[in-house]
Amino acid sequence: MQLYFSGESLRNTQKFLTLRGVQANHVTVYRWITKYVKLIQKYLEQMKPQLSDTWKADELFPKAKGNIKYLYALMDDETRFWIAQQVSDTKYTADITPLFSEGKRIANKAPTVVITDGAPNFHSGIEAEFWREKKQLALVHEQDIRFDGQIHNNKMERLNGEIRDREKVVRGVKKADSPLIKGLQIYHNYVRPHMGLKGETPAEKAGIKIEGQDKWLTLIQNAARIKSHPLAKT
């Protein structure tokens, strides 16, 4: 998991395992990644990060089955916690209300400020999710962003860079529900230390600490323990 999500291809990961005496082809490696991403993801759904009141959203363009897809990401400004994501077929016309709805569910609250670029579907999605009965937004939507100004989306651009760098290695996301995207979200939030957070992970900054030096192993063990508990839901 660490090799793959830190930048190695499936075949390079296979070669490393072979050197360690583990015989597995790249297809088997992919199946392991898929299995453990799903297992960890289900375990992490119970976590409630402590997030700030300012969120940022942006989109980038991974390839799915050779066609352009748009990955929308929602991030907390203070902790850099990647809150939610949504893959869509179009850029300006996609309904991204589910992105903000999922963000509100995960954070267990609504933000007071959302910072995006000027794409119209950001505003329509925010209106649909956060519109009050008194016909006014329940938050401030900042769209006038500049790289050198007070209001900017630099942190989202850095997240975009992380995803783009990883996508280059796998030559595009092969399908919209690829475990790569969810796995990258787990890696970004719970495993990868960030220089901008003084070596902490976004999860640690948001009050969720994963113990141990091998955080992937801790996540897998905790997730497996919850799944095998007699009261755990299947």
Instruction: Kindly list the structural domains of the chain, giving each domain's residue range(s) and its CATH number in brackets, ordered by start.
Output: 2-46+212-228 (no CATH), 54-176 (3.30.420.10)
| CA 19, chain centre distance (Å) | 31
| Whole-number pLDDT of residue 150 | 54
Condensed to tens digits (0 to 9), the pLDDT of residues 4-22 reads 988 888 899 999 999 999 9
Cα–Cα distances (Å) from 41 to 33, 37, 122, 158, 190, in that order, read: 12, 6, 26, 23, 11
Q: What is the pLDDT of residue 122?
A: 92
Q: E strands along 109-205, which residues?
A: 113-115, 140-142
Tell me what pLDDT residue 83 has.
Answer: 96
99 three-state secondary structure: helix
Pick out the chain residues at pLDDT < 70.
Answer: 61-68, 132-136, 144-153, 164-177, 227-234
Structure tokens at 4: 């793959």
Closest CA to 216 of 21, 89, 40, 23: 40
Q: What per-residue confidence (pLDDT) applies to 1?
A: 92
Distance separating alpha carbons of residues 161 and 165, to the nearest angstrom: 6
Phi-psi region of 149 (alpha: psi -120 to 50; beta: other; left: phi over 0): beta
| Pairing label, strands 63-64, 113-115 | unpaired
